[in-house]
Structure 1
Amino acid sequence: MSQKRKIALFVSAIGFGGAEKVVSLLLDELTKYFDVTLILLYDEIKLPLNKNAKIVILSKPGSTFKTNIFARLYDNFKFIFKYQKALKEHNIEVAVSFLVRQNIMNGIAKMNNKKLKTIISERCFPSIMYSDQKATSFLTKLLIPFFYNKNDKLFSNSIYINNDLISNYNIKIDTSVIYNPILTKNRKPKLKSYKNLEDVFNVVTVGRLIPVKNQKSIIEAIKLLPSNFVLDIYGDGELHDDLNLLSKELDIQDRIHFNGNVNNVKSHIVEKHCFVLSSITEGFPNVVLEAMSVGLPVICTNCMSGPLELLNDNEKVNILSGSFVKAKYGLLVNVDDTVGLSQAIKYMQNNIEERNMYSKLSFERAKTYDVSNIGIHVKNLIDSL
């Protein structure tokens, strides 16, 4: 029997973020075909990992991401050398990295080892994601074109991300789209029943509490709805206190529940009536796939990128301000349209048959993104080198 090819997956840590979830799922599939080493910058593992993968951690136990710019630069220089050393020690033939810092380090590793094959993966819409701060915008405009183009191939989770990289960052290497994987079941869980319009209607959202996720918009939408509409928020982040204060200022603090990070989030959200994504920008939202995989009907902002591809086969829609559009697999609203979002939530509550229909469509749609299917696409990409 031929020896398995040695590959590495490179990510900062295995926390609760979208890229980390993708890596943890892909390990289960890729270890079937390759000898896999998972390389992490930090000693943080919060998700289950396949026992057949070797794990290499580049920092000392207890080390965390530095906020001081000079400490961060020093850490990055150390990581560059440690990463290349790990690739050499484990005889890695193909290195696959995720997110901008690791992608740049993969480009450097390729520059110093021409025999190494490298694949990078961008998971966000860079021209929006990195535009908030002038320094970050300047550095990414400088570093991404130079180091990304040193790699062999790039894949993202949206055609719009690739277009952004080509148009705004002059990416010239081969690009492809491989959507995020999800674990699905053969039988759809039973959707939580809702018969009396006076009963509590449970809305749920999942995501880091950061500006681009825009949970503020959902909280403001709940304020526009009757008192029997409540919102559960799963996730944590820098805006927790601000969002909690907002709910108090709007006098709806008893209807907004902050639940923090949880393991197996699907077991929590399956008990709700509908799922909402309110992001300003996305890559390809894992949380929407997770909601759909348990049969939750979903409402998404038509942000760049992901929701249009996922909910409407990438067919463009025209959404009026203060309203929503019934897409093929869920409802779409304009970004930051609080009134439109409240109307979409109200529609899901008022129309039981439509809610049940979208529940079934969600579940069937999610199956096409099962990790067994997506894993083959990643395998084929690796095999092409």
Structure 2
Amino acid sequence: MKVLQIIDSLPATSGGARFVVNLVKKLAERNIDCQLLLIDGAKSHFLDELNLANIKIISLDDGVKNRYRFKYIRKIAYFMTDFDLVHVHVFPSSYMVAAATLLKKDVTVVFTEHNSYNRRATNWVFKLIEKFVYSRFNKIICLSDQVLKFVTQNLSIPLENLCIIENAIDTHAVINAVPYSKKELGYENSDWLLLMSARFTLQKNHKVLIEAMCLLPEDVKLLLAGDGILKEELEMQVYKLGLTDRIQFLGSRKDVFRLMKSVDINVLSSNFEGLSLAALEAMTVGKPFIASNVEGLDFVVQDPRLLFENNPKSIAMLVSDLINNEQLRKTAVEICAERSKKYDIDVMVDKYIEVYEEVLKKNDGK
């Protein structure tokens, strides 16, 4: 079986990128000829990781600013015909591949929907485009029940074209990461360190987390790992609030697992999620993990004691509770560890292979 995975790029702190990298490597281990096509092949530690694993990468461009050019559709259509199956991830790659199927028919395509919400599907104009795009896929794989409900309710996709395969993590890689000391990170042992590792995009809610820092003691420090279009705006917010000595922007990092193990509390403040890979990874490192009480994250965390509302007071209260209550911290670690055990990457890969085989068999029978 020859499988072409397609995603627009591999930004260093993208959960979607981490998902694709993990999946490609595991499929290769199962002796499946799996290659990766990127619209934007800009350098990242994920590319280095794939090169070390001898994964073939097809890069259409490098550092591209506009990913909606027709030339990419033609190039994707050209490469698709060399594979038994194409597996596409996230927007705008989904649009590019859907359009490419009009140029190259009889191509088997599956799509993984990573998010439990997208604005395009709720806008009456873009909803028509979304329905067309989804109609070009032989199978749509949803990362959770919440994702599936959103798709069915907003896009009226037939249930026979949908299935659920929950996200999963490479626990071996997370567990083997070696933590830094607080001194190595430039802090005192008495400091309380928070970490949020996520792209600076509208999906995430760094802004409210930054505001919450104003309500927390001086010895509470926040590390932000990632990059994105909102970085300068958030840096300005930190400056205006007088928090530059307490909030550090780390940039894109390839040592996120080490950082997660080094801090006291891992945080994910978000407006919506699918089944967050970053959340699952943070729940594996042996530290408390707290998150926004929003669609997707509520399912991952489940315990309301570890969820906060997206307002500064709610975040500050939960962080303070964890700092001041050692038993709550221990309980949080136990809750997180127990939940993360349910998401093993080998089980997930088995399910993807089953879907690939099912869709290919169905198409061969036509």
Q: What interval of TM-score do these two structures reach, taking the shorter chain for normalisation?
A: 0.7 to 0.9
* Structure 1 counterpart of 2:79, one-letter code: A
C-alpha distance in 2 between matches for 1:105 and 1:244 = 33
Offset from partner CA, 1:157-186 (integer Å, 9 cap, x none) = 122222122211222351122222212139
Unaligned runs of 5+ in 1: 67-71, 132-136, 318-324
Mapped contact 1:100–1:122 kept (Cα < 8 A): no
**Number of aligned pairs?**
345
Matched, 1:151 2:137: yes
What's 1:227 paired with? 218
Offset from partner CA, 1:324-348 (integer Å, 9 cap, x none) = x32xxxx0122x2211111110111
Cα distance, 1:55–1:127 mapped onto 2, change above 3 Å:
closer
C-alpha distance in 2 between matches for 1:310 and 1:200 = 28
Matched, 1:14 2:10: yes
Offset from partner CA, 1:239-258 (integer Å, 9 cap, x none) = 22322232233233211111
Pick aligned residue for 2:78 from 85, 91, 100:
85
Offset from partner CA, 1:2-52 (integer Å, 9 cap, x none) = xxx111111112222111111100012111142112111122242111634
C-alpha distance in 2 between matches for 1:252 and 1:364 = 35
What's 1:332 paired with? 307
Spell out the pairing of 1:1-385 with structure 2 (5 A cutoff): 5-16=1-12, 17-31=14-28, 32-46=30-44, 47=46, 48-49=49-50, 51-59=53-61, 62-66=62-66, 73=68, 75=69, 77-88=70-81, 90=82, 92-128=83-119, 137=123, 140-172=126-158, 174-185=161-172, 199-304=190-295, 306-312=296-302, 325-326=304-305, 331-334=306-309, 336-385=310-359
- The structure with the largest helix share of the pair is 2
Aligned residues: CA RMSD: 2.6
Report which stretch shifted further, 118-127 or 226-235.
Answer: 118-127
Report which stretch shifted further, 340-349 or 99-108.
Answer: 99-108
Cα distance, 1:202–1:8 mapped onto 2, change above 3 Å:
same
* Structure 1 counterpart of 2:128, one-letter code: L
Shift of 1:350: 1.1
What's 1:320 paired with? none
C-alpha distance in 1 between matches for 2:120 and 2:281 = 23
TM-score for the superposition, normalised by structure 1? 0.82
What's 2:363 paired with? none
Mapped contact 1:191–1:273 kept (Cα < 8 A): no
Unaligned runs of 5+ in 2: 183-188, 360-366
TM-score for the superposition, normalised by structure 2? 0.86
Q: Percent identity of the aligned residues?
A: 25
* Structure 2 counterpart of 1:216, one-letter code: K
Offset from partner CA, 1:251-292 (integer Å, 9 cap, x none) = 332111111111121111211001111111122222212211
Q: Secondary structure of the equivalent of 2:80? A: helix
